[in-house]
Amino acid sequence: MNTLIFRTFAPFLTALMLLFSIFVLLRGHNEPGGGFIGGLIGASAFAIYGIAFGVQAVRRALWFHPMSIAGCGLLISTLSGFVSAPLGLPFMTGVWIYPTLFGVEVPLATVVSFDIGVYLVVVGTFTSIALALEERDDA
């Protein structure tokens, strides 16, 4: 599927899908969505870009190896679970803080950092799988 229309439209579709995946990630705390489905949308965006331009183009577009992204996400998720331990709470208990930025109270939670970690794990893992499958098709 290497048509001119697809190659022209793929960068716009990829950018739109990545923005939507971040929207779904951030919306998922209070409404349907979250890190897993947002990560699937993000990985699908990289897969579409890979179909249009090849695996090497996706590898150049990503700053890090996809499995490094997944490892970073796993670290973030695990660390967000350990934040509750010094407070005497069970592992993975949500902890909220309320810093004030420019006079506005901003609630921050370990739930959000856990979702970001899941997002990175899913994006890294599924992008790595998609690139491996696309490389196999190219050979």
The predicted structure's pLDDT at residue 88: 87
pLDDT in tens, 69-110: 999 999 999 999 999 888 889 988 888 889 898 989 988 888
Average pLDDT value for residue range 28-55: 90
Please give the DSSP secondary-structure letter assigned to residue 87.
G
Mean pLDDT of the chain: 91
The predicted structure's pLDDT at residue 33: 79
Structure tokens, 115: 């979702």
pLDDT in tens, 102-125: 989 988 888 899 999 999 999 999
Q: Report whether pLDDT(138) > 70.
A: no
What residue ranges do the domains of the chain occupy? 4-138
Report d(CA 115, CA 56) in Å as an integer.
29
Rounded to 5 degrees, φ, ψ at 30 are: -110, -15
The predicted structure's pLDDT at residue 23: 94
pLDDT in tens, 12-22: 999 999 999 99
Report d(CA 136, CA 139) in Å as an integer.
5
Structure tokens, 85: 């331990």
The string over 77-102, giving b where at least 16 C-beta atoms fall within 10 Å of a residue's C-beta and e elsewhere, is beebbebbeeeeeeebeeeeeeeeee
Rounded to two decimals, the pTM is 0.89
Element (H or E) spanning 80, and its range? helix 66-82
- Give residue 38's pLDDT band: very low, low, confident or very high (50, 70, 90): very high
